[in-house]
Amino acid sequence: MNPIVPLIMAVALFMEQMDSTVISTALPAIAADLNVGPITLKLALTTYMVALAIFIPVSGWTADRFGAKRVFRAAIIVFLIGSVFCAISSNLIEFVASRFLQGMGGAMMTPVGRLVILRTTNRSELVRAMALLTIPALLGPMAGPPLGGFLTTYFSWHWIFLINVPIGIVGLIMAGIFLPLIEDEPPSDLDWKGFFLVALAASGIVFGLSVISLPALPPATGFVTTAIGFLSGIWYIRHARRVEKPLLNLSLFSNPSFAVATSSATFFRMATGAFPFLMPLMLQLGFGLNPFESGMITFIGAAGALLTKFVAPKVFSAFGFRTVLITASLGAAILTVTFSFFEATTPHVVILAILFCSGLFRSFFFTGVNALAYADIENNQASQATAMSSMFQQASFALGVAFAAVILELAGHFTGGELTVAHFHIAFAVVALLSLVSVFPLLGLRRDAGAAVSGHKTPQAAE
């Protein structure tokens, strides 16, 4: 295996993962500069993830049709153009449109990068290649909040996007020199109708929920858009049952492990997606911290997630998917409730300790649920399962941001006045309940589910 190949992919993955978290600590500063409220700027977070949810399902087909190397380099260019446009945006519409363009590039970079590795790496070396690729996925969320806070506090929020340019150029040059030309497999015809319906469903639901209470738009706009999204989703379900090769294969849900993992992860990711929106705002607007101080506090959760990667295989082997996932889900829900008791006078060491433990539980959950989803998937269904899982992942994160913002707005509506720490306390309590819902699908999971992947041996199997 040529280690240069996964490292090139890692550059793109690091850039994308960092950018998805770096904006959180800069939200109040960007909102003030664009003359909008910080909650209104949730559109910048949700729009990016909606773009990912829309275009990830067609990334594999695009790579087969136009060549993986060509698509990967084009995706970097699109991401960089979107980054520059974000930096020079002067109003909310320009900023949101630029974030959508960034999301289009990001949707192609990561899945196409994984496809390149799968097609250029021997199976015996695949674990090593994926390990190299996983490191930036963990370091990106760690570096994002403190880096974004530092640049916003001591320079300008514009630099959190401009910093992508040199990183992306390095990745672009390395990809041109070192990535091999891959013989493309002849793709089947794209399910264009399915793509259109999925795009309408993902964007309609997430965008509609985000704009329901925006002061710039009448509430009817959000309700109508959300309704269009749900109707498009229902229409797609009917469409997928009638065509031979739908964009997203719904028959995958007949696989118990995939169905349980996807449904449980959807609720858990919604709760997790709310965190990077709520916590920086509470620390800055409620506690009076600057963006850099806020980023230095929130990044500790990613540090806890990184530690999990070293012990997760042994834990899942010892206790199995069902026990560990239920424990992680309950632990994350309980710790999220404790966020409702944070005050400006709470010692930072206490906040850091709770956020660190929260990162541990979240990482255990995601590590397990991602493996469980593919535990019983056949090889010929792997690409479809990846597309389905990725789409649900990005849509649920985006819905989490929209859901958290709606809770804040409702709390402010009933209590009156500007945002206070009490409003964030209410939001975190509701988000904790959402995290708790993720436990229920797991209760029906067999104790030996995914044992071939986790290595867990039940007492019955041992006998």
**CA-to-CA distance for 22 and 292, rounded, in angstroms?**
11
Q: Give the model's pLDDT for residue 117.
A: 66
Between 93 and 388, residue with greater pLDDT: 93
Query: What confidence tier does 369 reach under pLDDT thresholds 50, 70, 90?
Result: confident
Instruction: Report percent pLDDT > 90 for the chain.
Output: 11
Per-range mean pLDDT, top range of 83-97, 377-391, 398-412: 83-97
Contact 365, 268 (CB under 8 A): yes
Q: Judge contact between 458 and 320, C-beta under 8 A.
A: yes
Query: Helix, strand or coil for residue 344?
Result: coil
Q: What is the dihedral of CA 108, 86, 139, 371, to 10 degrees?
A: -40
Q: Is the pLDDT of residue 241 over 80?
A: yes
pLDDT in tens, 106-129: 888 876 766 676 666 654 454 455
CA distance 79 to 265: 27
- The distance from CA 364 to its chain's CA centroid, rounded to whole angstroms, is 16
If you average pLDDT over residues 160-178, what whole number do you get?
A: 85
Residue 34 confidence (pLDDT): 86
Rg (CA), the chain: 21
55 vs 390, residue with greater confidence: 55
Residue 180's CB is within 10 A of a number of other CB atoms, namely: 12
Greatest C-alpha distance within the chain:
68
Calpha distance 218→211 (Å, rounded): 9
Percent over 70 (pLDDT), the chain = 81
DSSP alpha helix (H) spans, 40-163: 42-55, 59-66, 68-88, 92-120, 126-154, 159-162
